[in-house]
């Protein structure tokens, strides 16, 4: 079976055009993580959680076989004592008639109290493995960890270890999760690799190009694995697609956009974005952030001129500008870069701050070549792996810090204080 997948993978990479177009040195090998308990077909693995509305959490996990009669989660605020019980659903998918996923189980629990540690068990009644998570607080400060383009390499493992040492509330991933590139078992390794973090803090993700996994003639449906494995709260924000949605964490409204679905004026995503922006109350959520995969601003030589960047920017940049979005995160380019406030390629005090952070640790390595001379709008750029830490201190001020991990030690390399548009009366909201 491994040899068959190897031959299939070569064909798929050629068909999908996933060949490297530029040199990315400094790679580290992919790691493989096998199931920890193959004797129990309902043993929970690949556990991760995500926010659902203001006070609920989705618990997702995979088992080898279905849980009869249905998957359930017990939970409570003390270890071993579970006052809450919720039931959910399960599903699975096939890919190329070679791979069949395990049972993907989902249960939404709540209502939950803010800033509270909950202990939970998922699976069947009597499950022995206990997990825990902490809900985000209902007051400032709010702490976000941010890193994109993760993959499943030793660099990825290093990034996750550094993130785990910082006491954050929510993890934001701007696309390109597993880098399975259609070889589905890598999705399972990714789920096992991130479980120690993703089972303790909500992971909010959007899709990247490596999640598309559509193959001419052979597999027509895009995002099969992504949509099945990483369901986000799109319905709660009025979206009709798991590829774009929004959510609130106290004082912050976050818009997760889809670079690889329709974004032209008149498209469903464009109309949803217009509607979502109109609903925002800046008195309740004074901070407004957006997340995409393909960056709208980028001085790296990598990924220049792609329609997912250029055309999406042409379609949606004005919407974000008029809404006074404070900050836009992107991935895709395997390096770090922070821009000044910009709009339509010019410095603009009322435009968002753009930060590219596709440096989580993927197998393709770093994009090391930048355009020279460095334009005035680009304030800091470096081709190193790492992660970001955003602390929203209050309604007007936040602190951003980028931690480099190129030497396996998390070191601060870039930091800046940011002010929201609530603190800038010249940019009327």
pLDDT at 13: 39
The pTM assigned to this predicted structure is 0.93
Q: In the chain, which residues fall in CATH 3.60.21.10?
A: 136-427
pLDDT at 407: 67
170-218 residue pLDDT tens: 999 999 999 999 999 999 999 999 999 999 999 999 999 999 999 998 9
Task: Please name which of 370, 373, 372, 310 lies closest in space to residue 345, comparing C-alpha atoms.
Answer: 310
| pLDDT beyond 80 at 268 | yes
Q: CA 343 to CA 301: how far, in whole Å? A: 21
Q: Report the pLDDT averaged over residues 84-108.
A: 96
Answer left, alpha or beta for residue 115, where phi above 0 means left and psi between -120 and 50 means alpha: left
Average pLDDT in the chain: 92
Q: Is 303 a catalytic residue?
A: yes
**Sheet hosting strand 397-404, strand order edge to edge:** 203-205, 170-173, 142-146, 386-392, 397-404, 411-419
| pLDDT beyond 60 at 285 | yes
- Which residues, 6 or more positions from 319, have their beta carbon under 8 angstroms from its beta carbon? 270, 273, 274, 277
- Min mean pLDDT across 10-19, 67-76, 260-269, 309-318 is at 10-19
| pLDDT beyond 50 at 385 | yes
Looking at domain 35-135, its CATH architecture is Sandwich (2.60)
pLDDT at 412: 78
Q: Residue 41's pLDDT band (boundaries 50, 70, 90)? A: very high
Q: Report the pLDDT averaged over residues 102-115.
A: 98
pLDDT at 279: 97
Q: In the chain, which residues fall in CATH 2.60.40.380?
A: 35-135
| pLDDT beyond 60 at 20 | no
Is residue 389 within 8 A of residue 415, CB to CB? The reply is: no
Q: CA 374 to CA 199: how far, in whole Å? A: 41
28-40 residue pLDDT tens: 889 999 998 878 8
Report the percentage of the chain scoring pLDDT > 70: 93
pLDDT at 128: 78
Report the percentage of the chain scoring pLDDT > 90: 86
Q: What is the largest CA-CA distance in the chain?
A: 64
| pLDDT beyond 80 at 8 | no
Q: Report the pLDDT averaged over residues 343-370.
A: 96
228-239 residue pLDDT tens: 999 999 999 999
pLDDT at 302: 94
Token representation of residue 104 = 């993907």
Strand-strand pairing, 252-256 and 287-291: parallel
Length, in residues, of the chain = 429
Torsion angle of C-alpha atoms 270, 245, 195, 391, degrees rounded to 10: 100
361-383 residue pLDDT tens: 999 999 999 999 999 999 999 99
Q: Exactly one of 303, 332, 334, 387 is catalytic; which is it?
A: 303
| DSSP per-residue string spanning 316-337 | HHHHHHHTT--EEEE-SSSSEE
Candidate CATH numbers 3.60.21.10, 1.10.510.10, 3.90.1150.10, 3.10.310.10; the one for domain 136-427: 3.60.21.10
Token representation of residue 29 = 């090998």
Peptide bond preceding 373: is omega within 30 degrees of 0, i.e. cis? Answer: yes
pLDDT at 6: 47
């Amino acid at each position: 079976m491994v040899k068959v997948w190897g031959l299939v993978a070569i064909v798929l990479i050629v068909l999908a055009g996933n060949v490297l177009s530029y040199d990315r040195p400094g790679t580290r090998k992919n790691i493989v993580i096998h199931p920890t308990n193959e004797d129990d077909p309902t043993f929970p693995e690949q556990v991760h959680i995500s926010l659902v509305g203001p006070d609920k959490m989705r618990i997702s996990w995979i088992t080898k076989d279905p849980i009869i009669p249905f998957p359930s989660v017990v939970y409570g605020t003390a270890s071993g004592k579970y006052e809450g019980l919720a039931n959910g659903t399960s599903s699975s998918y096939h890919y190329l008639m070679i791979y069949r996923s395990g049972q993907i189980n989902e249960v939404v629990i709540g209502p939950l109290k803010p800033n509270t540690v909950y202990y939970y068990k998922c699976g069947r009644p009597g499950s022995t493995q206990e997990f825990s998570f902490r809900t985000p607080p209902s007051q400032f400060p709010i702490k976000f960890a941010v890193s994109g383009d993760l993959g499943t390499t030793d660099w990825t493992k290093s990034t996750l270890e550094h993130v785990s040492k910082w006491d954050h509330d929510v993890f934001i991933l701007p696309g390109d999760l597993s880098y399975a590139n259609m070889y589905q078992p890598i999705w399972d390794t990714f789920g096992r690799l991130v479980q120690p973090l993703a089972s303790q803090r909500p992971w909010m993700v959007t899709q990247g190009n490596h999640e598309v996994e559509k193959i001419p003639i052979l597999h027509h449906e895009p995002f099969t694995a992504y949509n099945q494995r990483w369901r986000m709260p799109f319905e709660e924000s009025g979206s009709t697609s798991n590829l774009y949605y929004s959510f609130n964490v106290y004082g912050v409204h976050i818009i997760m956009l889809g670079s690889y679905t329709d974004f032209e004026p008149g498209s469903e995503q464009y109309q949803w974005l217009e509607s979502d922006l109109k609903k925002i109350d800046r008195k309740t959520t004074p901070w407004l952030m957006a997340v995409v995969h393909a960056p709208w601003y980028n001085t790296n030589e990598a990924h220049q001129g792609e329609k997912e960047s250029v055309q999406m920017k042409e379609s949606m940049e004005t919407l974000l500008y008029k809404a006074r979005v404070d900050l836009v995160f992107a991935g895709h380019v395997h390096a770090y870069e922070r821009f000044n406030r910009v709009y339509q390629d010019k410095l603009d005090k009322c435009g968002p701050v753009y930060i590219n952070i596709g440096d989580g640790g993927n197998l393709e390595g770093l994009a090391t070549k930048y355009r020279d001379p460095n334009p005035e709008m680009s304030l800091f750029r470096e081709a190193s792996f790492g992660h970001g830490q955003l602390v929203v201190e209050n309604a007007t001020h936040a602190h951003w810090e980028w931690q480099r991990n190129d030497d396996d030690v998390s070191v601060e390399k870039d930091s800046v204080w940011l002010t929201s548009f609530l603190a800038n009366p010249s940019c009327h909201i």
